[in-house]
Amino acid sequence: MLQGLHGFSKPKLYLEQYTTPPHLAASIVWLSFMRGELERVVDVGCGPGVFAVAAAMLGSSVVCMDIDEDAVKDCLNNSTQLSIDAVVMDALRPGIRDNYATACFINPPFGIWSRRGLDTDMVKAALGFCKVIYSIHKRSSTAIVLRKTGGEAVGRSTLVLPHTYPHHDKYRHDVEVVIIRTERR
């Protein structure tokens, strides 16, 4: 089902919008499921909602949030057969109450076209309303992210970025990533 989802209808470079690959989202959500963390989920910076759909398929109550209204619409279009709520909201200033979610999933901007450090800031902001966060980061920034978030590396993968924006001169670009699990203490 995840492989049949549509990507971003209007991807925005300044938000570094790339769809999380289905196999990666499925693996991360399954890890959280096996740890019993999927009661209430927030897909932070949801984009087209790959994490949200995976979590909802496993029976989670899911809320999607993204600063981009087009991305929220894409998420809702991808989840018409599931019970998923969505909201246009800035992940750095979330309007979600403390301890709302048992698990959050984030595939944040890597700081290439957006502000450097935004990925760790999104994780830290999510700690205000979430018990456990799974996030994807460039392998080269792993040490910094671990130091700033107090998380632990729980997996590695290759993120394949397809030719999406006009400046792309290759069919695809592979980025080595690390999956980090951060628990609220």
Per residue, the 3-state secondary structure of 61-125, as one string, reads: EEEEEECCHHHHHHHHHHCCCCCEEEEECCCCCCCCCCCCEEEEEECCCCCCCCCCCHHHHHHHH
pLDDT score of 144: 92
Angle between helices 50-57 and 69-78 (to 10 degrees): 30
Cβ contact 109:136 at 8 Å = no
Q: So what's the pLDDT on residue 106?
A: 95
Encode pLDDT of 32-79 as tens digits.
999 999 999 999 999 999 999 999 999 999 999 999 999 999 999 999
Q: Convert the pLDDT of each residue in 74-116 to its tens digit.
A: 999 999 889 899 999 998 887 777 777 899 999 997 766 666 7
The residue among 96 and 140 whose pLDDT is bigger is 140
Confidence at residue 173, expressed as pLDDT on a 0 to 100 scale: 81
Q: What is the pLDDT of residue 37?
A: 96
Pick one of 3.40.50.150, 3.20.20.70, 3.30.70.3280, 3.20.20.450 as the CATH number of 2-183: 3.40.50.150
pLDDT band at 171 (very low <50, low <70, confident <90, very high): confident
- What does the domain layout of the chain look like in residue ranges? 2-183
Q: What is the pLDDT of residue 74?
A: 96
Q: Is the Cβ–Cβ distance between 54 and 25 less than 8 Å? A: yes
Is the confidence at residue 22, as pLDDT, over 90? Answer: yes
Token pair recorded at residue 104: 């959050």
**Residues 178, 185: Cα–Cα separation, whole Å:** 22
